[in-house]
Amino acid sequence: MRAERQLSPRGSSANVANWGFMKNTRIALIGAGIAGLTAALALQRRGFRPVVYEQAPQLGEVGAGLTASPNSTHGLEDIGLGPGLARLACKPDRAGALHYRTGEVLVDQERGEAALRQYGAYYYQIHRADLHNLQVDAVRANDPAAIRLNHAFAGFRQIGDEVEVSFANGAKATADVVIGCDGIKSEVRAALWGRLPARFTGNVAFRGLVPIERMPPGFKLTPMSGAAVGNKHSMARYLVRDGTLINFAAFAEKSGWENESWSMRCELSELLAEFHDWHESFRVFLSATPPENCFKWALFDRDPLPQWTKGRASLLGDAAHPMLPFLGMGAAMGIEDGVILGRCFEAASTVDEALKRYEAARRERTTMVLLASRAAQDRLQGNKADGYNKETHKNEEAMGLFGYNPRIVPV
């Protein structure tokens, strides 16, 4: 990177000359979640050698499902995970909105081949651990030393064009740029911009994975992917892992309990009491949730940041735009960020230019999605099931979010 400063300013020949130097840029990614590993792969595939520092002593993802909408699938295809997705993810033929009490399908939409025809990519649903494993294997196949475990970010200093990062284990690393991909409670974000105030939304989320063999014979999810609206309660449910597991995320207005951790177990009786007046087609799988597979956490809302980058440090994924889960778009935004970051580093002739291009390409879209996720909370958690229809179903597809392709948007 030191050589980079000696180069002539922009211009097509300078860009060609700088290309080789940029590839030596020392890029430190903090956090090996879905967003950080997408960034790592997008950079690796463009000739960079990023290092990912992860706090955990072992890699893993929570037991839950994830929707990869077409915008996200384009990103995952860019980083070489297309074949893995096709092998491990479910491809629902239809999606829709359901009435919580009657189970009636209020809105029905085509997915499957229709998504491919319309957006050029499939709409997939996958176990988060399956996606994360694909990412970890691919990053390590490119560079076995790329992921450093047991490295919890503790702070950093920017000295000239370098960043010195310190970790809780006492280690230090020097890089040309540091990107915080350390999730919703990001320490890198706190170091850059202070701690973001988080407001309890008054809603608690429950999640679980239910083995399909626990269901009565002939049980079917119709449509395969569905979001149900109710009275201050809502739920998304779909199949993952070759249709062998039902994944659900259920939301309830509830006060007096405000723990944001994703790994807090919950009693099945509490879940069933919350959804006591829901239709049997939901209660049948809720009540079959293995007790060790039932979790809950409180939902907190944070405002969008007006800026991500300061000097040689920036943010990506939930660290940059911690959003509520009501559009199911958080990981998709992190995947888009990762691909765009890789493309910006490839296109730029300096680190500063790469970070500028990255933030310019990403902040507006992710701010819009963060605010829309907040608004979707009201749409799904209101008391509107009886009047719910195609016109009021302003979901992520209706907002045009699927039409974005991180592989080709201008950067």
Ligand X SMILES: Cc1cc2nc3c(=O)[nH]c(=O)nc-3n(C[C@H](O)[C@H](O)[C@H](O)COP(=O)(O)OP(=O)(O)OC[C@H]3O[C@@H](n4cnc5c(N)ncnc54)[C@H](O)[C@@H]3O)c2cc1C
Q: Under the rule (CB under 6 A), what is the footprint of ligand X?
A: 30-36, 53-56, 66-67, 72, 152-153, 181-184, 187, 205, 207, 249, 317-318, 325, 328-332, 334
Q: Which of 204, 207, 185 minimizes the C-alpha distance to 322?
A: 185
Using alpha carbons only, how large is the chain's radius of gyration in Å? 22
- The residue written with tokens 């294997």 in the block is 137
Q: How far is the CB of 343 from ligand X (least distance, A)?
A: 18
- The residue written with tokens 């090996």 in the block is 32
Q: How far is the CB of 218 from ligand X (least distance, A)?
A: 27
Q: In one letter, which amino acid is 340?
A: I
Q: In one letter, which amino acid is 148?
A: R
The residue (of 304 and 330) whose beta carbon lies closer to ligand X is: 330
DSSP 8-state secondary structure symbol assigned to residue 176: S
Q: How far is the CB of 70 from ligand X (least distance, A)?
A: 12
The residue (of 36 and 342) whose beta carbon lies closer to ligand X is: 36
The residue (of 22 and 266) whose beta carbon lies closer to ligand X is: 266
Quick one: 293 exposed, middle or buried, by C-beta within 10 A (0-12, 13-18, 19+)?
A: middle
Q: In one letter, which amino acid is 370?
A: L
The residue (of 23 and 148) whose beta carbon lies closer to ligand X is: 148
E strand or H helix that includes residue 13: helix 12-22
Interatomic CA distance for residues 96 and 225, integer angstroms: 7
Q: How far is the CB of 205 from ligand X (least distance, A)?
A: 5
Q: What is the DSSP string of 299-330?
A: EEE-PPPS---BTTEEE-GGGT----GGGS-H
Q: What is the DSSP string of 196-262?
A: PP-EEEEEEEEEEEEEGGGSPTT---SSSEEEEE-BSEEEEEEEETTTTEEEEEEEEE--S-----T
296, two tokens: 């809950």
Active-site residue identified among 100, 119, 122, 238: 238
The residue (of 334 and 357) whose beta carbon lies closer to ligand X is: 334
Interatomic CA distance for residues 163 and 159, integer angstroms: 6
266, two tokens: 């919950």
Q: How far is the CB of 60 from ligand X (least distance, A)?
A: 8
Is the separation of the CB atoms in 225 and 92 below 8 Å?
A: yes
| Annotation says 238 is catalytic | yes
The residue (of 56 and 86) whose beta carbon lies closer to ligand X is: 56
Q: How far is the CB of 318 from ligand X (least distance, A)?
A: 4
Q: How far is the CB of 334 from ligand X (least distance, A)?
A: 4
In this structure, are strands 177-180 and 313-315 parallel, antiparallel, or unpaired? parallel
Q: Which long-range contacts (CB under 8 A, 24 or more apart) does 1-5 make?
A: 1/25, 1/26, 1/161, 1/162, 1/176, 1/351, 2/161, 4/350, 4/351, 5/161
Q: Who contacts 189 (Cβ-Cβ below 8 Å, separation ≥6)?
A: 180, 182, 196, 305, 315, 319, 320
E strand or H helix that includes residue 172: strand 172-175
The residue (of 127 and 312) whose beta carbon lies closer to ligand X is: 127
Q: How far is the CB of 292 from ligand X (least distance, A)?
A: 18
The residue (of 238 and 388) whose beta carbon lies closer to ligand X is: 238
Residues acting as catalytic residues: 238
